[in-house]
C-alpha cells in the first residue's frame, strides 16, 4: 500500500494601501474638486481657492469665502490618495486676515473633517502661510476653523 502525504502551505494575499507620491513640486490642488461649509455669495465659491490664481484681493473674484459657520471648513478631494508634504495657503490680503487664526489643516481619507491635523495656523502676519504635513497620506485636504463661528476665506490653497 502506498501512502501519499500532501502538505498544504497556507498563503495569505493581502492588499497594501499605498499612496501616490507626486513628482517634485507639482501642485496637486488644481487636480482636485473643492467644497466648503457654505458660500457667502456665489462669486466666492470653493473652487476659487484651488484655481491656480494667487491674487489675494477678494474684489478680484479669486478667493473662496464661507458664511459665518461653526465650524467653517473648506475641503479638497484629490480623487486618490497622495503623500502630502506641505500645504501653502494664500490668505486674504485686503482685509480680515485674522479670521484664519486657529484654523487647522488636515489630511486623511475621511470625507468628513475629522482627519489628522498637520498643523494649526497661529500666525497671520504673512499673506502666504506654509504648513508642513511631512508625508501625511490622504485623499482629502481640509482647512477647518473649529470651535467658533467664523467666515473662512482662502485665496489659494496649494498642495505638494
Map out the domains of the chain with their CATH numbers.
Answer: 28-159 (2.60.120.260)
- Whether residue 71 is preceded by a cis peptide bond, meaning omega within 30 degrees of 0, is yes
Q: Encode pLDDT of 72-113 as tens digits.
A: 999 999 999 999 999 999 999 999 999 999 999 999 999 998
Instruction: Enumerate residues 6+ apart whose C-beta is below 8 A from 158.
Output: 27, 29, 50, 87, 88, 89
DSSP SS3 for 131? strand
Q: pLDDT at position 129, please? A: 98
- Please, how many CA atoms are within 13 Å of residue 85, restricted to the half-sphere of its CB? 10
What are the C-alpha distances in Å from 90 to residues 99, 113, 114? Answer: 13, 20, 23
Positions in the chain whose pLDDT score sits under 70: 1-18, 21-24
Q: pLDDT at position 95, please? A: 94
pTM assigned to the model: 0.86
Instruction: Enumerate residues 6+ apart whose C-beta is below 8 A from 108.
Output: 114, 115, 116, 136, 137, 138, 139, 140
DSSP SS3 for 77? strand
Calpha distance 42→32 (Å, rounded): 20
Amino acid at each position: 500500500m502506498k501512502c501519499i502525504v500532501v502538505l498544504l502551505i497556507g498563503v495569505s494575499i493581502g492588499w497594501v494601501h499605498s499612496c501616490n507620491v507626486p513628482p517634485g513640486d507639482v501642485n496637486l490642488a488644481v487636480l482636485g474638486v473643492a467644497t466648503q461649509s457654505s458660500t457667502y455669495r456665489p462669486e466666492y465659491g470653493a473652487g476659487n481657492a484651488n484655481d491656480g490664481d494667487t491674487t489675494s484681493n477678494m474684489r478680484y473674484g479669486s478667493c473662496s469665502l464661507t458664511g459665518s459657520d461653526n465650524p467653517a471648513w473648506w475641503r479638497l478631494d484629490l480623487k486618490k490618495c497622495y503623500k502630502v508634504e506641505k500645504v501653502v495657503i494664500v490668505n486674504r490680503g485686503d482685509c480680515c486676515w485674522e479670521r484664519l487664526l486657529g484654523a487647522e489643516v488636515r489630511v486623511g481619507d475621511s470625507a468628513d473633517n475629522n482627519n489628522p491635523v498637520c498643523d494649526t495656523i497661529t500666525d497671520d502676519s504673512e499673506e502666504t502661510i506654509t504648513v508642513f504635513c511631512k508625508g501625511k497620506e490622504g485623499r482629502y485636504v481640509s482647512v477647518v476653523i473649529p470651535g467658533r463661528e467664523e467666515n473662512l476665506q482662502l485665496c489659494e490653497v496649494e498642495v505638494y
